[in-house]
Amino acid sequence: MILLHELQVLRIKLFEIAEARGSLTDPEVIAISEAADEVIVTLQQLHKEEQAKYNTRCALAVDGKTESAAAHTLAAEGLQAAPFRD
């Protein structure tokens, strides 16, 4: 949530500075844009990691290795494991 807020602040600042300077190639506009890019990349990496964890939990639940723990985790997230099919 902190990163999303930071991105929103950078987005507003980017818009304001670009409008005030009248240029998207102003060095300060570019610096803010680059900072926003870094936050976006970090958010994408975090999302990718969370997706990988979720996929692992689902696979374990289907496989039955940690059926009760994984099923409990999925249930807490409001989901059900898909039945295993060959």
Show contacts of 12-17: CB within 8 Å, 24+ apart.
none
Residue 59 has pLDDT above 70, yes or no: yes
pTM over the 0.85 mark: no
pLDDT digit string (tens) for 4-56? 999 999 999 999 999 999 999 999 999 999 999 999 999 999 999 999 888 88
Q: Is the dihedral of CA 73, 76, 79, 81 positive or negative?
A: positive
- Return the DSSP state at 60: H
Residue 66 has pLDDT above 80, yes or no: no
Helices (H), ranges, the chain: 2-21, 27-63, 67-76
